Amino acid sequence: MTNKVVVLGSLNVDTTLLINQMPKPGETISAISKTNSAGGKGANQAVAAARSGAVTSFIGQVGDDSNGQFMIDALKNDDINTDHVAVDHENGTGSAVILLDSDGQNSIMVYGGANQAMQPATISNSEALIADADILIAQFETPQAVTYEAFKLAKKHNVTTILNPAPASKIIDGLLEVTDLVVPNETESTTLTGLEVDDIETMNTNAEKFAEMGVHHLIITVGARGAYYHTPDDSGFVPAFKVKAKDTTAAGDTFIGAFSAKVKKDLSNMQDALVYAQQASSITVRRLGALPSIPTEKEIKEEYK
């Protein structure tokens, strides 16, 4: 089974500053090192899907600048179709500054730029691409109105839609009704439902709330603990693999991209795809950076024979 995955999302050039500990308000600290790399939730998820064997295409927007070409080249390096990446002549390519401490925890500041300037009307140009896909993924680093238009086209053509509501914000009316699977982390789930995520019972309650909101398949990722899943027929928890994390950047994106490469279009093999996704993200957190840390299918299979 080879999935055709389309990712609608963000393209950011990441600047990572390695520091000993996070600065306190008003404090000036020295960085140990500085690196620049391709990133953005959309790019990370697309690369993770491609490296896990999916035929992957991207819908997005970059600025008319060197960073934009850098991001397009980064996608092409993983054989991702970039024909639907537009160039914005008024806004710069998205960027992010990542503070990474010695425990592997990060704080991220994002400039949306061309990502946030995307317009819903442009999605009609990608209808044929979406119609030919098995899976369409989107996040919240591009406008929700654009995602809504794309997901409506996906449902018109019987394409499975996966929404990663990150960073969490109020969801526009109608979007969840054209979403087949929603994948927040525990903080995002609480923000969107107003309900705490502490244990299986509260995760079940969150699933009920999301069903009321219109989406009936849910995965809640809870970092080093693992991932909860809920479908109309089943629910459960898949533990994470225990590893020593160096950098958690792109771990959640790796999870979603790898999952999309392995899940069936009808989401019937949710648990098996979740195990694979956990394996992928367990490798990502042991490496530095966003795109450079995402493993290939070969690496995952060698690690978890």
Binding residues for substrate: 12-14, 40-44, 141, 253
Please report, in range form, the residues annotated as the binding site. 12-14, 40-44, 141, 185, 221-226, 247, 249, 252-253, 284, 287, 289, 293
Q: Which of 159, 91, 94, 149 is nearest to 122 (CA)?
A: 149
Say if CB 219 and CB 183 are below 8 A apart.
yes
Which residues line the annotated binding site for ATP? 185, 221-226, 252-253
Measured between alpha carbons, how far is 217 from 162 in angstroms, rounded to an integer? 9
Instruction: Give me the active site residues, please.
Output: 253
